Every structure is written in structure tokens, then in C-alpha cells.
Amino acid sequence: MTTPLALTQISRLARRASGTAAANRMVPEETPVAFSYGGTTHAVMMASPADLEDFALGFTLTEGIVDQPEEIEEISVEQAGTGFDIQIRLRDKANTRFEARRRRLAGPVGCGLCGIESIEEAMRSVDAVGQAPLTLTAGDVVQSVRMLSKLQPLHSETGAVHAAGFYVPGQGIVAAREDVGRHNALDKLAGALATRRIDGSTGAVVVTSRVSVEMVQKTAAIGSPVIIAVSAPTALAIRNADAAGMALVALVRGDDFDVFTHPERVNSGIAKHVA
């Protein structure tokens, strides 16, 4: 299969103070990507058609379908019409566990509490990361966002995609991925880290989006005790980060930022826990 293009050039009318003219612009592609386990589709995401193997591995890990990459036997990306079908084959024990989970979630959800299992899945507990020794300086926080901004070729071309990076003190951003979806970018980063055997507890996850509870859940699945974001968090994300022992740093603007949980992980002069 040829490598899919993540960008397309289009023509549009550009209106400016000086007048209106036809001009070209690069825009990101967005395509359906299906995750199929044992030949059965589990989820379909709208995503950028790039780094799809990382996407599949990261999604499988951060959604708790497997605990270790070794539980995956094979990942194959197949073109399917206008999108892509990623076939993921799990090893025996992991496949048995996943099939049991799938059977539990299957069934009628249109009455009363029939869908309670799905709600519990959405509100799953966040992995504890409080034992990780990582601490950052204020300079690390500021530098991580600045460095990530220079590692976003798709965004530089289009201004329309998110990025997730992994910052290690003393090394900088050691991995970064982009996607039209913020969750997808983080899943792709998780897959890249797992492929390269980078220990998630050694660095901070840096994202260009707001922080929802799913972003906290996926960061905890990576094993990182710090998430840094350029935008704001939700209340549920703050509560989950606090319970997990994770520092949630957000609203990074130049040298300014807010620490919402576990400020002891960020040497920024904040004396006590503010959550």
C-alpha cells in the first residue's frame, strides 16, 4: 500500500483588505480509520492518514485493550474505500480477555440501566502515576511547548491539526505526532513511545489542545506523571489527574502557565497543593 498523503492543496478565494483573489492553500486530509480486532470492527475514528501503525498500537494500549505491546501479534493497515481498516491480531490470552470484554458490552442499551457498562467504561479509573519521580522546572514547562511548536510540519502547512509530544528534561521533545484529532495525536504518540521502548514515566506529555478526561486517561496509560497543555482543562480532567498523582499544567502562554494539580512536580515557586 502506498503511503497516504496527509495534505491536499486546494484553491480558494482569499479576501483581504487589499482585495479578493484566487489562491492555493494546503489543508489536512481527514479520513475514516477503523480498528478491527479478530476481523471485527471495534471503533472507527476520523483521523489524519499518517502514522497509522503508531495509531493502532497507541489506541490499543491507551484504551486498555492490551497492557503490553507484546500482547499484539500483528498490525496490518489495509485501504478500504475512502478510508483505512487496521487489522489488529491479539495473542491468545489478550484476545480471550478482549472477547470477554466485547461480549459484556454488547447488547441492548435502549432501556434504563442496560448501558451501565458503557458508562463505566467511559468513566474508567485512571492509572496511578504518583510513584514516578519526575519533576520539572518552570523553564522545562515553557521550553516543552516552544519545542513542540517547531515539530509540527502539518500544522505549519495548514494551521488545522493538533500535536502531542513527549518531553524529557535534558533531552527535549524526543517524539511528536500530529493529527486532526487531539485524542488521535496522543494515541499516535503512545504508539511511537511503545515502539521505541521509551519509558513513559521519564517525561511529560505535551499537547496543543484543551485537556479533557480522556487526555488524562491516555497520559496515565502512557505512564507519564505530567501533562502540559496550551489550553484549559475540564473539571473532570482535573479531578482525575489529582487522583492519579499527575501534575496537570495548562494555559501555557509564553512564560506564563497554571498548575492545577500536584504543583510539587513543577518547581515554579508554588508552595502547596492547589487542587
pLDDT at 120: 64
Please give the distance of CA 200 from its chain centroid, rounded to a whole number: 13
The angle, 0 to 180 degrees and rounded to 10, between the axes of the packed helices 182-195 and 52-62 is 90
CB 189 within 8 A of CB 178: no
pLDDT score of 43: 94
CA distances from 59 to 25, 202, 205, 212, 270 (A): 31, 21, 16, 16, 35
The whole-number pLDDT of residue 104 equals: 58
Distance CA 47, CA 34 (A): 10
Is there a single domain that holds both residue 95 and residue 146?
no
Q: Indicate if 103 and 141 belong to the same structural domain.
A: no
CATH number of the domain enclosing 256: 3.40.140.10
Q: Is residue 48 part of a domain?
A: yes
Give the three cell numbers for residue 118.
458503557
Q: Based on the fold, state whether residues 230 and 259 are members of the same structural domain.
A: yes
H/E stretch holding 180 reads none
pLDDT at 126: 84
Same domain (yes/no): 107, 148: no
Three-state secondary-structure class, residue 230 = coil
pLDDT (0 to 100) of residue 108: 41
* CA distances for 151 relative to 131, 159, 165, 197, 254, angstroms: 30, 13, 9, 21, 17
Q: Which of 262, 268, 265, 227 is nearest to 243 (CA)?
A: 262
Domain limit, last residue, from 76, 99, 122: 122
What is the number of structural domains in the chain? 2
Q: Both 65 and 157 in a single domain?
A: no
* pLDDT per residue rounded down to tens, the chain (275 residues): 445 689 999 999 999 999 999 999 999 999 999 999 999 999 999 999 999 999 999 999 999 999 999 999 999 999 998 999 999 999 999 999 998 877 655 544 444 434 345 566 666 778 899 899 999 999 999 999 999 999 999 999 999 999 999 999 999 999 999 999 999 999 999 999 999 999 999 999 999 999 999 999 999 999 999 999 999 999 999 999 999 999 999 999 999 999 999 999 999 755 444 44
| pLDDT number for residue 156 | 94
Residue 8 in domain = no
220 shares its domain with 195: yes
- Catalytic residues, which ones? 111
What is the pLDDT, as a whole number, of residue 113? 39
CATH number, domain with residue 48:
3.10.20.10
Q: How far is it, in rounded angstroms, from Cα 50 to Cα 70?
A: 23
Angle, CA 189 vertex, CA 155 and CA 200 arms, to 5°: 140
- Let me know if residue 23 belongs to a domain: no
For residue 158, what are the domain limits?
Answer: 136-267
